[in-house]
Amino acid sequence: MNSVSSPLPAHLPARVLTAILCALLVVAPVEGKRSEPQAAGSSDAATSASHKAKKPDASSSSKKPAATGSHATTAAKKPGSSSARRTSTTTHRSATTPRGKKKYVSPAERRRRAARAHKIKLAFVASTELRPMAQQLATLRTPAAYVGVTSYAHAHAGEAAAAAYLALGHAYFLDKRYTDAVASLHQARVAGEELNDYADFLAAKASHEGNQEIQAEALLKGFKEKYPDSIFVDEVPELEANVLLDMHDPVGAKRVLDAAASDPAAGRAGYQLAAGLVAEAQDRNQDAIRVFKALLLGFPLSTEAAIARTKLTSLGAEDSLTSDELRSLGDAYYKAGHYEEAAEQYRALALKFNLDTQARNGFAVAAAACDLKRKLLTQSEAEALADTPDENGARRLYLLMELARNRNDLDEQTRIVTRMESDFPQSQWLAEAVFSSGNMYLLLKDYSRAAEYYAYLADHFPSNKNASAAHWRAGWLNYRLGNFNDAERIFDEQIHNFPGTPETASALYWRGRLYESQDHNIAQAAANYRTIVRVYQHFFYAQMARERLAALGATEAASAPDLDQIKTPELPMLADSFPEDSPHLAKAKLLANAGLNDYIPREIAADPDSGSWSALAEAQIYASFGESYRAMRALKRALPGAASASIQSIPLAYWHILFPEPYWTIIKAESAKNGLDPYLVASLIRQESEFNPSAISYANAWGLMQLLPSVGRTLAREENMTHFQTFQLLDPETNIRLGTRYLKQMLDHFGGVPEYALAAYNAGDSRVEDWQASGPYSGIDEFVESIPFTQTRDYVQSILRNIEIYREIDSTSADTTAKAASGR
C-alpha cells in the first residue's frame, strides 16, 4: 500500500485531508489497463520512461487468499475452534441475489410494499445530514469521525438516530470492538425499525465474535420469520449453526442447517463449512470428510476452503484426495494468479509416494511454471526436469523457450520451437511457445519472423485462445511489410473466421483501405466502412471510417450480405426510472446515509423486479454523494459493450454516469489556460483514474491525472507553487492544474498530434520517438495500429473514443433540453 511520505502540515484544507486519508485505503482501477505496458501477449514487462514509469493497473491488486498447501496452517485460527468457524461467516460482499421472472403481486401486497417504502423514504429524509459523517466514519474510522457520528446520534431521535447508531455499530465491528458494536446496534434497534434486520444480524455477528453466544442466538432465532425479505436470510443458518456449536449444541446446529438445506443458503461456502463442522462435532467423520472435500474442490480460493483443508488434515483424510483432485486445486490457484500457493501445491503433490512417473513429472513441471511466473526459475532447474515425450515434456520445452527469450538467445529460442514443431505438433505448449515467439520478434522489429509465427499459430491452432489475435497480427504485419496480397487474404479470413472478436473492426477498416489503394474498389471499401460505423459506433476505427467515407464523398456502398450478418451486441433491458414502491431500493438509499455502502448492491438486487434498473439505481446512489468513480464502475460492469452502442440506444442517465463531468469548471479553466480541449482532459482522467481523486497506483502515480511525485514537483516549480508537497496531488484542483500543464508539454513536444502525446503520456516519450522511427506511416491510423504495446494502443484509442462520446452526450443533452423547453 502506498503512503504519503511527506509529513502533513498541521492545518490542511478538509478536502485535501480527506483525500489523503482515503488514498491510504482506496486504489481505483484504470479502465482498459493491464498490470503494465506490454507487447500484446508478451510475458516481458516494458518499463516506462515517462511520468508513470512501470505504472501498473490500479485494479490489479487483490487480497491474497490464505495459502492452502498440504501442511497449511494459514487460516490463522486454530482448526475446530470458534474463531476458525467465525472466519466463515464473513459477508460475501460480491454476492447478489438471483433475479427470477417478474411475479404477480396482489393489490394488498402492493399496498403493503408501498407503505413500507414510504416509511423508509421518510427515514432517508430524516437522516440525510448524517451521510457525509457516516461515509467518513466508514472509510477512515478515526476518533474524530466516531465523535462526529456519536454527537449526531445523541442529537437526533427516531430513524435518524437509528441510522447513526447503525453506522457506529458497523464501524466498531470493523475495528473489532465487539462490545461497543453490540451496544450501538442495540441502540439502533431501539431508536428505529427500518434497518432492524441489519442491526440484529450485525449484532449477532459481533456477539459471536465476542464469545457472547447466548445473545447471538437470541438475535438469530426466528430471524427469517421476522425479516423474510432481508438480504441476510441466506447467511443466518451458517452463522446460527456456528453459534450453536460454540454453545455445545451440535444437534441444534444440524437442525438449523437441515431446515435451510433446500434454500439458496445451502449453496454458500459458509453453509457447507458449518455442515462439515457439525458432522465432525457429532462424530460423523465420514460425512465431515465428504463435506470438507466438496467444499475444498468447489470453492478452492475461499477462506472456507483453507479451513476445510486443515480439517481434512486433522481428520487424517488428506490422502483421500485423488491426484486429479489435488491437481485441480493447484490449477485453480494457478489460473487465479496465486503462483506461490500453486507451486506449494504442485511440489507437495510431486512428493506423494503413490504417484506414477508421469504424474510426478507433471507436478514438477507445473511447479516450475509457477516459478517462471514469479521470475524465480533458473536454467539449470528447467533443464533438470524430465525430458519426456508427452505434454510434460512439451511444457518443459516451453519453459526453456521462455528462458531463452528472456536472455534474448534467438538461436536457442528457434531451436526449441523447431523441436516442438517436430515432437509435439498438437501440443497447447507449442501454441504458447509460437505466440510468445511472435511477440518477441514483434518487439525486436523483425516483422517478417513475427508474422511467420503468428500465421503458424492461426493455421495450426484455430481454436486456441490467441488464434484471433495471432491471425490479425499476421495480417497487419504483412500489410506493414507491403505484402498486400497476403494481407488482403488474411483480413478477409479474419472477418469471416473470427467474427465478434476485438480484431474484427480493425480487419474491416484495413481491408477497406486496401480496397481503396490496391483493388480500386471504392464501393466495397465504403461497405466495410459503413459496417464499422453501424456496428462499432464509438470505436477508434468508427472515427477513422467516418473520415474515409467523407473523403469518398457520395460513393454508394456495394451490397455485402456477409457484412450485414455482423451485428451490434445486444443490450440488456434498461430502465431510467424506478418503482416508487420498492422497499429494497428505499433501504439501499438509507444504507448510504448510514455509510454501509458495501450492502447497497445486494439490497437493490434483492428486489426481484430490479433487473432493468438495478445498475443505474446503484450508480446514482454513489453519484449522489460524489463518488463518480464508484458509480461509473457499477455501470461499466453492467454495460461492458456500451462503446458499441449509439447514444440513442441507452438512456442519457446511464451515459452521464458512464462519462461523468466532475470538476468540470476546473477542467475547463485549466484547459483554456493551456490551450487544451476540455473533453480531451476529461477523457484522459476517465482513463487514468475514473475520476477518483484519491487514486494512487502501485507505481506511485497520484491523483486524477496520475502524476508521479517527481513530475509533480517539477511542474509545481514551473507553476511557481511554493512549498509543494506530494499530498497536494490528491487535491483535484492542484492535480488538474499540474496535469494539464504536463499534457500540454507532451502535445508541444509531439507537434500537437494527440495520438503521439497520449501514447507518450502512457508509455514515455522515448518509446514514442522509437515507434515513430519505425515508420514511415501512411497516416496516424497506421501509427496507432502499429503501437506494439496492447495496453498503450488501447489507451490511446479509448481516450479518442471518450472524446467523441463526451461531445455526443452533451450535444444530445442540449437538444433534449431545448426540445423540452419548447414543448416539443
Task: Count Cβ atoms within 10 A of the Cβ of residue 76 and give its class: 0-12 exposed, 13-18 middle, 19 or more buried.
Answer: exposed
Nearest of 440, 518, 441 to residue 479 by alpha carbon: 518
List, in sequence order, every residue forming a beta bridge with 696; answer none if it has no partner: 702
Name the burial class of residue 559, with classes exposed (0-12), middle (13-18) and buried (19+) by CB atoms within 10 angstroms of its CB.
Answer: exposed
Is 688 a known active-site residue? yes
3-state helix, strand, coil in the chain (%, to 5): 65, 0, 35
Please list the residues that pair with 707 across neighbouring strands: 702
Question: In which element (H, E) is residue 225 found?
Answer: helix 223-226
What is d(CA 379, CA 360) in angstroms, rounded to the nearest whole number? 20
What is the residue type of 127?
Answer: S
Q: How far apart are CA 125 and CA 28, in angstroms?
A: 30
3-state SS, residue 670:
helix
Three-class DSSP labels, 767-806: HHHHHHHCCCCCCHHHHHHHCCEHHHHHHHHHHHHHHHHH
Q: Which of 209, 217, 603, 688 is catalytic?
A: 688
30-47: burial string, b at 16+ Cβ within 10 Å, e else: bbebbbbbbbbbbbeebe
Q: What is the largest CA-CA distance in the chain?
A: 85
Residue 39 phi/psi, 5-degree rounding, is -65, 140
CB atoms within 10 A of CB 373: 16
Q: Using CA atoms, how far apart are residues 816 and 1, in angstroms rounded to an integer?
A: 45
Neighbouring-strand partners of residue 702: 696, 707
Q: Check residue 141 and report its DSSP letter.
A: -
Residues 6+ apart with CB under 8 A from 627: none
Decide: 195 and 587 in contact? Cβ < 8 Å: yes
Residues found in the chain: 824
Asked whether 389 and 415 are in contact (CB, 8 A), the reply is: no
Distance CA 271, CA 463 (A): 39
Rounded Cα distance between 314 and 322, Å, is 17
Between CA 241 and CA 220 the distance in angstroms is: 10
What does each C-alpha distance from 222 to 175, 207, 237, 418, 483 come to in angstroms? 28, 17, 11, 69, 75
Question: What DSSP line would sit under 347-414, residue for residue?
Answer: HHHHT-TT--HHHHHHHHHHHHHHHHHTT---HHHHHHS---SSHHHHHHHHHHHHHHHHTT-HHHHH
Residues 376, 379, 383, 385, Cα dihedral to 10°: 0
Per DSSP, the three-state class of 217 is: helix
- The whole-angstrom separation of Cα 334 and Cα 371 is 11
3-state secondary structure of 707: strand
Beta bridge partners of 39: 789
658 by DSSP, 3-state: which?
helix
Residues with a known catalytic role? 688
